[in-house]
Structure 1
Amino acid sequence: MVTLELFRRLALSFTEVNEQPHFEKISFRVGKRIFATYDAKKNQACLKLNEIDQSVFSAFDSSIIIPVPNKWGKQGWTFFDLDKVREDMFEDAITTAYHNVVKK
């Protein structure tokens, strides 16, 4: 299980990351680019992965890690059920999301 405290600690551990509101969610950004959001109502993260990373993480358990079911999902945005995902898996995923956004 990943708590908001752990999510926040991981996200803010990266260089030049800031936390800002994003509609009814919390977003974590590098500059203006979002790499992760947190939905408190669902205890759910949404991370910006590339297509290959999305496929790899989703293959682990498609009931816990789910591509967003619309055009955003085709762009790599992926939901993570924070009640069920392993901490080490989430740490790998958020690190990947951060690096994908920083590269651009």
Structure 2
Amino acid sequence: MRPEDVRALALMLPDAVEGAHSGNPDFRVGGRIFATLWVEEARTVLRLPPAQQAACVAAEPDLFSPVPGAWGRRGWTSLDLDPCEEETLRAALLAAWHATAPAGLVAAYDPA
């Protein structure tokens, strides 16, 4: 996957907007970052619940890795874009959006 794929897929999510964080493009919902794009490194960093991060890392350790330090212990997870398939990227971005979006917004877009 390419950085422009991350941008396109992230901005398809409800109420997602692009911003900037530490000189990198980021994607926000409800004013909170759910993904940051590291273009030069061909990776994205996603905000996942720690249990979901652990499942992703266990299932696909060649793609997912915790961010070093306290951020990683809180669920922030790197996803390597070079070997990543579109389905994996879509699922990861959606999971990060779900973990970050206000509950009312999630409820409005999730089937009951």
TM superposition score normalised by structure 1: 0.92
State the match for 1:22 in structure 2. Answer: 21
The whole-number CA distance in structure 2 between the counterparts of 1:103 and 1:93 is 18
Give the superposed CA RMSD: 1.2
The whole-number CA distance in structure 2 between the counterparts of 1:7 and 1:82 is 9
State the match for 1:38 in structure 2. Answer: 37
Show structure 1 runs of 4+ deviating over 2 A: none
Number of equivalenced pairs:
103
Q: Which amino acid aligns with 2:55?
A: V
Higher-Rg structure is 2
Q: Which amino acid aligns with 2:30?
A: G
Deviation at 1:103, TM superposition (A): 4.3
SS at match of 1:16: coil
Q: Which amino acid aligns with 1:69?
A: P
Given that 1:49 and 1:78 are in contact with CA atoms closer than 8 Å, whether structure 2 keeps it comes out as yes
The whole-number CA distance in structure 2 between the counterparts of 1:51 and 1:84 is 23
SS at match of 2:10: helix
Given that 1:65 and 1:79 are in contact with CA atoms closer than 8 Å, whether structure 2 keeps it comes out as yes
The whole-number CA distance in structure 1 between the counterparts of 2:26 and 2:10 is 10
More helix per residue:
2
SS at match of 1:35: strand
Q: Which runs of 5+ in 1 are unaligned?
A: none
Percent identity, please. Answer: 34
Q: Which runs of 5+ in 2 are unaligned?
A: 104-112
Correspondence 1:68-87 to 2 at 5 A: 68-87=67-86
TM superposition score normalised by structure 2: 0.86
Deviation at 1:33, TM superposition (A): 0.4
